[in-house]
Copies of this chain bind each other. A is one copy, B any other.
Amino acid sequence: MTKSYYRSSKSGRSLSINGVNYATCSSGTKYKNRDDLLLIVLDPGSHICGCFTLSTMPSAPVVWSKKNIKRANNLKQKTILLINAGNANAFTGVEGSIACEEKAMALANIFKCDKKNIFFASTGVIGEKLPYKKIIQHLNYLKENLSSSGLKAASNAILTTDLKSKIYTKKFKINDELFTISGFAKGSGMIFPNMATMLAFIFTDFAIDRETLSFFTKKAIGESFNRISVDGDTSTSDSVFVSTTNKKKLKVTRDQRPAALNAFYEEIKKAMVDLAKEIVMDGEGARKFIEISVKNAKSVARAKEICFSIANSLLVKTAIAGEDANWGRLVMAIGKTRINLKTEKIKIYMQDFLLCKNGEGVETVDNAKLSRALKKKKVAIVVDLAEGHKEFTSWTSDLTEDYIKINADYRS
């Protein structure tokens, strides 16, 4: 089976966006023989929005970027993103903040911009001091090597334990105007030691006001990155940035504007959903893509809690890995949420086979057919609560022995 079901929106070629320039190099701080430092420079006039980890132990770059993202950047100047892989600069005390401050001073000096136009993301080991002086030494080299066609190299430079880079790039038409959206992400479906971070960067030339872009960013994250479950762990460094160069203005009447904006929102969402699904499937050991939908719930909150209880259950994830239609584990995962439900109303489906209703198993299931269906790479679980009209969907991967192997052995 191909992966086409979740990569349908991807073209074969990376598209550049006028006003978004990348440069990468090997910083010498962690990895050898690969680039691990990425500079992104956005032309003056760009807006930038972002969302960050909810961990109460955020890394220094998250603290820095979160503060800056709240106030508007200076539109007369360039906007800068500096990302390094291998060291998360998390739980590094005062020195972590100093590292950000020093990098920002150097960048502000080189690009003649305010510090509030500068954003950081770091991914890698927690608790090790960031050798920021080494990073600063490379900034002039990076400036000299900026290129708008560096998307592929950029996507590679931010990887840690990822098996492959994750890129999304697409041209889209709204009211006969052609726009571009490009993005890349890092993160693994099964999270790795000290490298749990999910980072994503999305760029477009679609001109839009900052408030709407910020609203779209948060909303689309709720429909994408916040729907993927890995192992229930939360990184200290998760960050998503969305930026527009504002170079291509939409020419529409006032009446046409809401529909056009909505079409743009759908493009952001598609980009994020695509990248989120790629993250789910990238984990070493992950062999199945699992979509869990909880339907007909009284509230989204109830549907979401049940959805994630299933997605985070080791017993469910190992059952799927074993291609076993073990719906008893789904019942267990629903029950442990302690949400009060009418047991006899619940229907549970796997791969469209109704496995349980009226508070008991369905006896007429064609087990041979079901067994074949479970061998597919994509597994769909549907829980129908029959108590309302709200729903929630989440995506996860199965849990295989390889996950443990890598996680136990990674740092040694």
Contact = CB atoms under 8 A, between A and B. Distances in A.
A89 to B, nearest CB: 11
A9 B336 CA distance: 33
A56 B233 CA distance: 25
Contacts of A235: 332
B332 A55 contact: yes
A128 interface: yes
A171 to B, nearest CB: 38
A125 B328 contact: yes
A57 B334 contact: yes
Interface string A121-165: 000011111000000000000000000000000000000000000
Interface stretch (A107-115, A174-182, A188-196, A386-394): A188-196
B404 A408 contact: no
* Majority secondary structure, A binding face: loop
Contact of A127 (B88, B314, B360): B360
**Contact residues on A (Cβ < 8 Å of other chain), bracket:** 35 or more
Interface string A333-370: 11111111101100000000000101111000000000
Contacts of A232: 232, 312-314
Given A56-B339, A339-B56, A126 B328 contact: yes
A57 B336 CA distance: 8
A331 interface: yes
Interface stretch (A90-98, A217-225, A246-254, A256-264): A90-98
Nearest to A192: B315
Given A55-B335, A56-B341, A126-B329, 7 more contacts: A56-B340, A57-B332, A90-B331, A193-B315, A232-B314, A234-B335, A322-B410
